Chains A and B, each alone.
Chain A
Amino acid sequence: MAILTKEEARALLKKVLAYSKAEECEVSINGSEGGNIRYALNAVSTAGDVSTMGLAVTSVYGKKAGTATIDEFSDAALERVVRRSEELAQLAPPNPEYMPMLGQSEFKEEITFNPTTAAMTPDSRAELVAKSLEVTKKAGLSAAGFLENSTGFSAVMNSKGLFAYTKGTDVTFSVTTRNEAGTASGYAARGFTDVSKLDTFSATKIASTKCLSSSGAKAIEPGKYTVILEPVAATYMMENMFRFDARSAEEGRSFLSKKGGGTRLGEQLVDPKVTIYSDPFNADLPSSTWSGEGLPREKTMWIDKGVVKNLSYSRYWADKKGVKPLPGPGNIIMEGGDASIEDLIKSTERGILVSRLWYIRMVDPQSLLLTGLTRDGTFYIENGKIKFPVKNFRFNESPVIMLNNLEALGKQERSISVESYRSYLIPPMKIRDFTFSSLSDAV
């Protein structure tokens, strides 16, 4: 049984803690179970089913900490792991940044678990994939996709009285559809806490439509264009700026560092239409209500109408700077508007619709300059209409510069990063002067 209930976890952790003789002791346990199917060329290529559970004990003397772990749960094994962590702590070099453990806090109940997702089986995964393949086989396209579900829990208890527990589910699906000649490609990606919201048939339809309309792409000159980034493209681009860390900013090595010293906290960083916050209780994108440092997570504003409102402080850095610690975001929600992607296209005189971005890498961490490419459906817009598909571009652009060139936001939706597979709530966005630096022959 890889998933323990809150009470089962509490009883086990309490038993382990009772063996401790150290000045401070923390016991944590986590487990997960889930599975995946990967398919390509309209057939399953690999699939798997994995379950794991492990327990870790950290013992502390002064600023010397030692951690040991185990995946056996007999009384003798549990006592042994406590003793071993105590021995390791005595041998460890002191960590000057070690912070004493926290006592009990109030952690609200999270809403991250869904029983339908937790009950998924190899057969139910295969059924969802079969629905996706039904679309591509009928359309004469080739599908490559990936479906993964996971259920996980973690709990922590320490000798100062802290106890926290969380349990969550997640399912992600992505599909790429290509034509036989290899001259057109489309993509769709979805992520949910509750699998009953996942419609692999509709998502594959969207990917197939993108594929069929992107055949015969024309080359147009790279340069500065107005772009409409669909949520899956915007998410991947924006993911690189969701590091609101005070320490690196104050040390002078972040895009949030200020010339002459200090940080950009309180400054207008981007367009006033931009508001970004985290909220563990958002029904569409719930997250854990406590952080890895044992701090409660609440709704936190990061950028409000373009102004930097908060930076995250670890307990060590907060103590050093004499401020209250603030955990980093557990999820990211960016406010949007009411416009649909079609509305954004209608209001565009000349521009490019970008379905997906790919292989984004940091070029300069100071300006957050990123490079990457468009992929799986790039279209030229003229006088409010999609005119024709265009060949893919490489871009060199910073999300900070991009959000200063923001023209309009559409309706936000839950979207996954095509690389980290993390979920975000991000709107489609229309940006002027987005920098495409060269053409790519890739389809």
Chain B
Amino acid sequence: MLPDLSAFGKTIDPAQALERVDVAVKKELADVALNTAKSNGATYADVRIGRYLNQFVVTRENKVLNVANTESYGIGIRVIANGCWGFAATNDVTKEGMAKTALKAVAVAKANAKIGGAPVQLAPQKGYGEVSWKTPLTKNAFEVPVKEKVDLLLNANGIAMAGGANFVNSVMFAVNEQKYFASTDGSYIDQDVHRLQPSFTVTKIDPSAGSFETRRSLSSPVGMGYEYLDALESEKVGGITPRYKQRYDMLEDIKYATKQAAEKIKAKSVEPGKYDLVLDPSHLWLTIHESVGHPTELDRVLGYEANFAGTSFLTLDKWKSGKFNFGSKAVNIVGDKTQVGSLGAVGYDDEGVKCKKWDIIKDGILVNYQAIRDQAHIIGLTESQGCCYSQSWQDVQFQRMPNVSLLPGKTPLSVDNMIKNVEKGVYIIGDGSFSIDQQRYNFQFGGQLFYEIKEGKIVGMLNDVAYQANTQEFWNSCAQVCDESDYRLGGAFSDGKGQPAQSSAVSHGSSTALFKGVNVINTKRKIG
């Protein structure tokens, strides 16, 4: 995951966000682009008419710093001409704009075809005709009054300040992608995709020591409506600090965060060495993302990302062998773009392929990758896995990670029972610092909360913890995964990839898992 990328558009009136562009109008515009491209030499064309809406409410302490609604509306046209891809985009959403942009896309393809290279080979895709899909939700975040969001954030901030925090920042971020896709295969797909991310950071300062600590929220970004913020007891996970499933209680979480930020300042600095790690899903999602999600992206495996994000240690020969031991037998990992409430869930991807679920790691063995239409033939597939995405109308779509999740253990196992069998360990909750090499071998992760485990019991908080491992060794050290009653989703709102860099949202599910004998380092340093 690369740093947050901005894909924000222009600012608009909140009421405008509820307006819709008529599907018949979009179809008429799309046909202009498709016909222009075909009549000028394109053998394939697709057009995306996208309206991307964002809403931010940004606060700190008792102040509202910003309330903004942004809109980005335009068209992106992708074509194959002379065997090569071409792409062009504009915010001139008129028939003239469509035709002009289609011609530009064809010109780009023809200019690039002169350089040479193997012609693009697309997996066959039937046209679906006129279809639609919408994120299942009960409260559209864009219909919830801004005041309700401001009140929630300022209430949360108030709890932190009353609890002794020095600073608190909180943000409500809502996204709505209204995407219309049409292609020369005969698909006309209208989708309405919603995502939400409530978050905060509590900061505690110790001026005499010249030190500070933060504790970030344990919320997840979700593919849901504002109902995510309706706190529900049944969606809470107890334990040393509350964690949350499909509903989030921000006011409760910030109360704990305030106490924990102060506790972190005084916590014992970790003694480096080998520890058993008990990793909560609020933390493990990021390790899955970096060490399983990215190396199983087929474009990385093939070398298409070599200049930026890198390639992958999971080369085709390892997959072809059918016995590459990615992890222990407890490790079962799926790609899934259908999971309800997840960030990656859509009906169809950005090249008109219906979404699905498939095995990537089965009983510890690498069995598949993540592919799109122009890659499917390389791994012997007759159809795409539906992993194509673009962050906006003005960026070209390419292979992006679906939700990649660790399946829960099949034997009943609670977190408490898992911890009981740990002699010397660290229990990590929440995601922190992260870094991994360009082929996804060597990684280092931090976290939000670290608890020392001694002889089966949590004995106190630790600080300055990070763990380093090699991906294959780490997943082979996975001894246990808790059962499905502990299963939760975490995720990234802004996973960066590609050139120009694009942002995508993706979830990763898991239950708490135990990893044996992992190298823990101490990250404390002093500067003058």
Contact = CB atoms under 8 A, between A and B. Distances in A.
Interface stretch (B185-193, B249-257, B435-443, B477-485): B435-443
Nearest to B213: A366
Nearest to B207: A261
B210 interface: yes
Contacts of A90: none
Given A48-B396, A84-B13, A400-B528, A358 B438 contact: yes
Contacts of B401: none
B83 to A, nearest CB: 10
Contacts of A93: 64, 67, 150
Contacts of B10: 54, 56, 69-71
B213 to A, nearest CB: 9
Given A361-B434, A419-B2, A440-B442, A47 B203 contact: no
Contacts of B303: 40-41, 142, 144, 178
A367 interface: yes
Contacts of B13: 68, 84, 87-88
Interface residues of B, number: 90
B435 A371 contact: yes
Contact of A260 (B210, B310, B524): B210
Contacts of B438: 358-359, 373, 375, 442
A396 B464 CA distance: 13
A163 to B, nearest CB: 21
B85 A126 contact: no
B88 A441 contact: no
B521 A52 contact: no
A326 interface: no
A36 B18 CA distance: 34
B68 interface: yes
Nearest to A92: B67
A46 to B, nearest CB: 5
B490 to A, nearest CB: 17
B12 interface: yes
B433 A130 contact: no
A203 to B, nearest CB: 12
A331 interface: no
B527 A400 contact: yes
A175 B446 contact: no
Interface residues of A, number: 97
A101 interface: no
Nearest to A48: B87
B398 A46 contact: yes
B435 A44 contact: no
B115 A442 contact: no
Interface stretch (A104-112, A248-256, A317-325): A248-256
A443 B442 CA distance: 11
A244 B394 CA distance: 34
Interface in A1-43: 35-43
A67 B56 CA distance: 13
B500 A364 contact: no
B89 to A, nearest CB: 5
Interface string A357-395: 011111110111101110100000000000000001010
Nearest to B308: A146
B63 A442 contact: no
Interface string B431-468: 00111111111101010000000000000000010101
Contact of B108 (A43, A48, A375, A404): A48
B525 A37 contact: no
A178 B307 CA distance: 10
A130 to B, nearest CB: 5
A347 interface: no
Interface in B354-398: 394-396, 398
Contacts of B439: 441-443
A213 interface: no
A129 B115 contact: yes
A440 B441 contact: yes
B25 interface: no
A50 B435 contact: no
Given A40-B302, A48-B89, A122-B108, 15 more contacts: A36-B499, A39-B115, A47-B87, A48-B396, A69-B11, A84-B13, A133-B115, A252-B166, A257-B210, A359-B435, A363-B444, A375-B310, A396-B521, A441-B442, A442-B439
9 closest cross-chain pairs (CB), A and B: A43-B117, A259-B210, A69-B10, A440-B442, A144-B306, A442-B437, A442-B439, A144-B307, A146-B499
